[in-house]
Amino acid sequence: MLKDNGCMTRAVVTGGAGFIGSALVDTLVAQNYHVTVLDDFSHGKKENLAQSRDSIHVIDGSIVDLGAVETALSDADIVFHLAANRSVPHSVFNPLHFNRVNIDGTVNILETAKNVGIKRVVFSGSSAAYGDNTSFPQTESLMPNPQSPYAIQKVTGEHLMRYYWDSFDLETVSLRYFNVFGPRDDATSSYGAVIQIFIDRILSGKPIIIDGTGEQSRDFIFVQDVADANIAAATRARKDAFGVPINVCTGKSVTVNQLLETVQNLTGKKVPFSYGPSRAGDVVKTLGDNARARELLGFEPSWSFEAGLQKTIPWVQNQLSILHRQ
């Protein structure tokens, strides 16, 4: 077990300039961790690190570059491995590049962690592992059924984590995030896009066309909860948490219709809306079971959907005003 309050625990966050990584970095800094970010800024942004900039060490490098990984991990206690290419459609068109980052990069992290004596690696997996499995709520005992190169790579990452724990006693925790939302999501490649599009259109008074019936639903989890789950995995994981996938979800599913109503209520604005055709390949529902996270990590989400939206709306509003000034 790692030190609970940080006590200058040395943490590396790969992908720390991204949406979830930067929320984790801010939380770690607030808890007195010594943080190094390894990010190639392919999707991450310097401004995401503005809040913690003076307290962290940033390495502009790729997880595909073994030398950069060795430099970043050389004197660390723990690695939070978030760096990845995360777009499902792009992974279909560019599987070789995705494989290099999401698989070779992950092996670089694990191999280096083993060689330099890292205590624990926390991996960012994805509920995309469940694919079109329609048994709800989705529990970790379900057989993975990944449907894209991205999802296959995330499942492979989990197996690599298990292998390094089984074979080398490297402590690994694989977290399977459901649909993460919140400030700093660039939302071009995630289902969180629907949240930002709705906020954007409602604030700008533009009409909305809902895909399909609007009864499709997602287990949306607020980004701060995901950061907290990572820290629980670092500090409170039981031994039987190592090497197994663990859902990070709320256990509640919000429909697109409910999302629209909630954003309208929170902003106090209403816009006309209508229903259009369904999106090709859209899954009807995601809903996870979070019993394992409660049991093995002592983690429970603490942000309601409304509370998360209340933090997201002003961020989208600010992005809009930046856009309009340009």
Q: Which residues are catalytic?
A: 150
Q: Tell me, residue by residue from 163 to 182, as one string, x for binding to ligand NAD by CB under 6 A and - for no binding.
A: --------------x-xx--
Element (H, E) at 112: helix 105-116
Shortest Cβ 134–ligand NAD spacing (Å)? 19
Closest to ligand NAD by CB, 39 vs 140, is 39
Contact pick of 56, 82, 208, 259 for ligand NAD (by CB under 6 A) = 82
Contact pick of 2, 11, 12, 20 for ligand NAD (by CB under 6 A) = 20
| Spatial separation of the C-alpha atoms in residues 18 and 12, rounded to whole Å | 14
For 15, counting Cβ atoms within 10 Å of its Cβ (0-12 exposed, 13-18 middle, 19+ buried), the class is: buried
Closest CA to 154 of 186, 132, 171, 176: 176
Closest to ligand NAD by CB, 229 vs 237, is 229
Closest to ligand NAD by CB, 82 vs 263, is 82
Contact pick of 12, 29, 49, 63 for ligand NAD (by CB under 6 A) = 63
105: contact with ligand NAD by CB under 6 A: yes
Closest to ligand NAD by CB, 6 vs 21, is 21
308: contact with ligand NAD by CB under 6 A: no
Contact pick of 10, 34, 86, 201 for ligand NAD (by CB under 6 A) = 86
Contact pick of 62, 106, 172, 224 for ligand NAD (by CB under 6 A) = 62
Contact pick of 9, 11, 40, 174 for ligand NAD (by CB under 6 A) = 40
Closest to ligand NAD by CB, 239 vs 279, is 279
Residues recorded for the chain: 326
183: contact with ligand NAD by CB under 6 A: no
Shortest Cβ 87–ligand NAD spacing (Å)? 8
User: Residue 61, SS3?
Assistant: coil
124: contact with ligand NAD by CB under 6 A: yes
The strand pair at 56-60 and 34-39 is best described as parallel
Site for ligand NAD in 135-164 (CB under 6 A): none
Shortest Cβ 186–ligand NAD spacing (Å)? 6
Shortest Cβ 269–ligand NAD spacing (Å)? 26
21: contact with ligand NAD by CB under 6 A: yes
Contact pick of 27, 174, 190, 253 for ligand NAD (by CB under 6 A) = 190
Binding site for ligand NAD (CB under 6 A): 14-15, 17-21, 38-44, 62-64, 82-86, 101, 105, 124, 126, 177, 179-180, 190, 192
